[in-house]
Amino acid sequence: MTRYRHRVAFFETDAMGVVHHSNYVRHLELVRVQWLDEHDQPYRVYAEQGLHYATTHIEIDYRKSTGFDDVIEIAAWIDWVRGASMRINYELTCDGACVATASTVHAMVDRNGRARRIPRARVENLRRLALRPGPKAR
């Protein structure tokens, strides 16, 4: 599990005085990059190999608002991995209170956006970290 700390920027707030909900999607990406650094291989290595984890699904439940200069702590872990996709789960807290939970699914693609399998060494590594087997292919 990775723990990422994000200090809220002023440009992330909106006229309700809180962080605009669209920004959380970007926070999830920041923590995914760190999660790969710590548990798999840096995302830039995938990118140099011409591989990307395209986002195919995102869901976020917002529980509490956050504001300028708050520090959001984001925990991320891998839920499941299959041959060509994986799911990451997230919990976002601020001052000890859960502010949001989220999950994202990613499918491996090449530079041209065509579906690819996750390289064998990587999928084996990810499987060791996953909480549960992936769903059967649809």
Active-site residue numbers? 14
* Shortest reach from residue 138's CB to a second copy, in Å: 12
DSSP codes joined into one string, 30-43: HHHHHHHHHHS--H
Please identify which residue in 1, 21, 71, 83 interacts with a second copy, judged by CB under 8 A. Answer: 21
**In a 3-state reduction of DSSP, which class is residue 115?**
strand
Please identify which residue in 15, 120, 128, 138 interacts with a second copy, judged by CB under 8 A. Answer: 15
* Shortest reach from residue 112's CB to a second copy, in Å: 9
Please identify which residue in 1, 25, 97, 131 interacts with a second copy, judged by CB under 8 A. Answer: 25
The two structure tokens encoding residue 2: 């990775």
Hey, which residues between 92 and 111 contact a second copy (CB under 8 A)? 109, 111
Q: How far apart are the C-alpha atoms of 18 and 20, rounded to whole Å?
A: 6
Q: Which stretch binds a second copy (CB under 8 A): 47-55, 79-87, 119-127, 128-136?
A: 47-55
Q: How far apart are the C-alpha atoms of 106 and 50, rounded to whole Å?
A: 15
H-helix segments, the chain = 22-39, 43-48, 120-129
Q: How far apart are the C-alpha atoms of 35 and 41, rounded to whole Å?
A: 9
Contact footprint for a second copy (CB under 8 A): 9-11, 13-18, 20-22, 25-26, 29-30, 33, 42-44, 47, 52, 54-62, 65, 67-69, 109, 111, 113
